[in-house]
Amino acid sequence: AYLSLRGRLGTFAERTHIALSYQNQHERRRDSRPAGAVENGGRDDVHSFGLLARLESAPWTLADGVEFGLGYGGDLYHDRVESVAWTRFTDSGQLLFDTRGQYLDGSHYTWAGAYVQPKLSLLDGRLILRGGARLAFSAARAAADEASATVGVDQGWLTVVSHGGV
């Protein structure tokens, strides 16, 4: 599901795209072993939330045949995991939950970034100078599960990238 706004919001946002989004990936598993009167099951959900903003200014005339424009924006996405597994004994109806599902319940991953992209147009648009930079951040978090010898994760990364062109 998403909600999107596109349009003009003024001089600094001549072209605008803003969007909110949600996505759910759902998986359910069942492995029956009738001879052993056992059924293994599980359920996994990944909930993904997003925010996107892309804006572009109206061009500013700096001199005859010279214009300056600016693109900028950012994005933020967050994924959250729900995961559970169980064993059911079909002869007695007893249900035992495992210490963890296929994935570690409560794990999450986030990434975000912001960018700026200036553009200088010279000679009535016959020569264009472009540049840009983006600051990005990612983080992964998952608790440890001693019963399954799963090591926890708590990592974050910060990155800067840039580009230029003529």
Q: Considering the entire predicted model, what is its pTM?
A: 0.81
pLDDT in tens, the chain (166 residues): 999 999 998 888 999 999 999 999 999 999 998 888 999 999 999 999 999 999 999 999 999 999 999 999 999 999 999 999 999 999 998 999 998 999 999 999 999 999 999 999 999 889 999 999 999 999 999 999 999 899 999 999 999 999 999 9
Longest distance between any two alpha carbons in the chain, whole Å: 86
Question: In whole angstroms, how far apart are CA 160 and each of 71, 98, 111, 166?
Answer: 17, 41, 13, 21
Q: Is 104 exposed, middle or buried (0-12, 13-18, 19+ CB in 10 A)?
A: buried
Q: 63: which strand partners?
A: 66
